[in-house]
Amino acid sequence: MVSLESYLIDYLEKFDVVAEKILESDDKTPDFLVDQEEKVLIELKEKTDGEAQHEKHECSFDNNQIFEYANTSGYRNRLSGIISYGVQQLESRKGETKSQFCFLFIVANGVAPSNQLQQIYSTVYGNKDVVDFGSNSNMAKPCFYAYFSEFYKHSGVLDGVFVACNGSVFLLMNSLSINYPDILSSNFYSRFVGKIGIVEPLELEKKGEVLIADCDVPRNNQDKVKQYVFDKYNIKEGLIVDFPHFVYQSRIDINEI
């Protein structure tokens, strides 16, 4: 089985990005340093589920049953803890290595990776779904930074998060980062543009695909955040919600197809 570290190194090599393993020590240290046109620190994390959940998952398949999984798609405190610890590791070596940028690389290896992707997305962006009853669309729009956000909390260190999920990798950019304009014009960032899915909040807002709660209202006052968003986008009546996420999985024998 390929280790996660080898997976990350091999993956980045596809984009001509060379990630060098940083020697481990008793201190908090990140996993990799990219020393090319810019210096970039990368910390590798894995998000999985408990052993009991994985056993239930496999048991359903072994018995030819459908595995059902339901969970929230919103902000998760446990993910916040994982991200915050990773940021501490990045921050511990940023000055010493004279690195311009810092990224996390999170591998979603739970029983429902698509749900984990949504949770990571919501935890870093603090996004909520906004339903505008007066809109011609029957689709909700995500509103970035409507809730507590790890990108907001760590805007002085964390520039973005790579998320590996179901064989695909997405790059979530931190538009609140103090380095944001420099990242968008960097050689490191340009190596991924047009090749993987990139979430760039300000560009998505320009296209009308997302909303952004760019206000100083404390996020524990959700009523005021909602009012700000509704005033900014002229929403007369609507809801801000976290939709549940449902997953149904089954295992199919390829010889029976």
CB 201 within 8 A of CB 222: no
pLDDT tens readout for residues 105-149: 999 876 567 778 888 999 999 999 999 998 887 788 999 999 999
Supply the pLDDT for residue 68. Answer: 57
Q: How confident is the model at residue 153 (pLDDT cuts 50, 70, 90)?
A: very high
CB 116 within 8 A of CB 74: no
CA pair distance 176, 117, nearest whole angstrom? 20
pLDDT tens readout for residues 218-247: 999 999 999 999 999 999 999 888 765 444
pTM: 0.84
Backbone CA torsion sign across 35, 38, 39, 43: negative
Tokens read off for 177: 């980062």
Q: Map tokens 């596809």 to a residue.
A: 14
Tokens read off for 152: 């907001």
CA pair distance 149, 172, nearest whole angstrom? 13
